[in-house]
């Protein structure tokens, strides 16, 4: 199986071109094996670039633990780069089918290759039943959540996949590694959840760290950054346009008046290989 290692703001996945490659039947096991940073290729998960009847390609994404997610913001930018750079499509505006519908992506070129991508991530999902969470409110904004002996105030948003956002005074490992896994598996989230921790710099600038459902701490989470931008507006903390600093790079976000969230960020190809050797 040929693969390509790519990252978006340090959120790295193994990508497989399923227009050409055939896969083993147990894809969750494959995702676990290739993601292993000691015995595999090493990544936050596995992303399949598949043929689509409604777009230029279809993305399927699997976390490092083998679970499949509906959406991946950093991943869909890399899928667009792959589709354009590898000649699957010639258009700079691409339609990619995801578990959250068909998204429109605008590729920004440097020479002949895609350097960054602006994605229309669609409208945030704000009803608790659809996020899904058992917390009250549509959506829950600054809702009380008891975790690890602390009473947090959390805001929940889905970008096709579920996110639980906590605004903290100062980011720390204690938040991300101590509280993150407890939020991920909290009984209030029937499908588990991605946990974002946000430090506010100004109404238009935030710093984020994330504990991702199924992958643990990653260098960035595109859907998490979008959900946090929406949560900041809902909580009355930030403006509709924010710059988000993550350990692996920056993402630009805008919750537009049309209710759609736009994300702009980098997409990078690192190397190609064959698995298993």
Ligand X SMILES: N[C@@H](CCC[C@H](N)C(=O)O)C(=O)O
* Residues annotated within a binding site: 11, 63, 73-74, 161, 194, 212-213, 222-223
Pick one of 63, 128, 155, 166: the residue that binds ligand X (CB under 6 A): 63
Residue 194 is a binding residue for ligand X (CB under 6 A): yes
Q: Decide whether 168 or 263 has the Cβ nearer to ligand X.
A: 263
Pick one of 66, 73, 122, 139: the residue that binds ligand X (CB under 6 A): 73
Residue 14 is a binding residue for ligand X (CB under 6 A): no
Residue 32 is a binding residue for ligand X (CB under 6 A): no
Residue 222 is a binding residue for ligand X (CB under 6 A): yes
Annotated binding site for substrate: 11, 63, 73-74, 161, 194, 212-213, 222-223
Pick one of 43, 100, 215, 219: the residue that binds ligand X (CB under 6 A): 215
Catalytic residues: 72, 221
DSSP string, the chain: -EEEEEEETTEEEEEEETTT----S-HHHHHHHHH-TTTSS--SEEEEEE--SSSSEEEEEEETTS-EES--HHHHHHHHHHHHHTTS---SEEEEEETTEEEEEEEEEETTEEEEEEEE--PPB--TTTTT--SSSSS-SSEEEEETTEEEEEEEEESSSEEEEEE-SS--HIIIIIIHHHHHT-TT-TT--EEEEEEEEETTEEEEEEEETTTEEES--HHHHHHHHHHHHHTTSS-SEEEEEETTEEEEEEE-TTS-EEEEEE-EEEEEEES--
Q: Decide whether 66 or 224 has the Cβ nearer to ligand X.
A: 224
Q: Decide whether 46 or 72 has the Cβ nearer to ligand X.
A: 72
Binding site for ligand X (CB under 6 A): 11, 63, 69, 72-75, 161, 194, 212-215, 218, 221-224
């Amino acid at each position: 199986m040929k693969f390509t290692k790519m990252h978006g703001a340090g959120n790295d996945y193994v990508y497989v071109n399923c227009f050409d490659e055939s896969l083993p039947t147990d894809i969750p096991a494959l995702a676990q094996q290739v993601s292993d940073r000691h015995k595999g290729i090493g990544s936050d998960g596995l992303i399949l670039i598949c043929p689509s009847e409604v777009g230029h390609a279809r993305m399927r994404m699997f976390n490092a633990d083998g679970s499949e997610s509906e959406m991946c913001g950093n991943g869909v930018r890399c899928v667009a780069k792959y589709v354009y750079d590898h000649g699957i499509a010639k258009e700079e505006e691409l339609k990619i089918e995801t578990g959250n519908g068909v998204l429109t992506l605008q590729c920004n070129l440097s020479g002949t290759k895609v350097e960054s991508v602006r994605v229309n991530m669609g409208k945030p999902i704000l009803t608790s039943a659809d996020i899904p969470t058992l917390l009250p409110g549509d959506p829950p904004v600054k809702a009380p959540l008891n975790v690890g002996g602390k009473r947090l105030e959390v805001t929940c948003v889905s970008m096709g996949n579920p996110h639980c956002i906590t605004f903290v005074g100062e980011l720390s490992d204690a938040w991300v590694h101590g509280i993150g896994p407890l939020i991920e598996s909290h009984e209030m989230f029937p499908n588990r959840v991605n946990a974002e921790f946000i430090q506010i710099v100004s109404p238009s600038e935030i710093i984020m760290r994330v504990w991702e459902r199924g992958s643990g701490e990653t260098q960035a989470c595109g859907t998490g950054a979008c959900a946090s931008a929406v949560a900041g507006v809902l909580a009355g903390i930030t403006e509709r346009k924010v710059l988000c600093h993550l350990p692996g790079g920056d993402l630009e976000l805008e919750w537009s008046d049309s209710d759609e969230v736009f994300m702009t960020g980098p997409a990078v190809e690192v190397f190609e290989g064959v698995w298993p050797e």
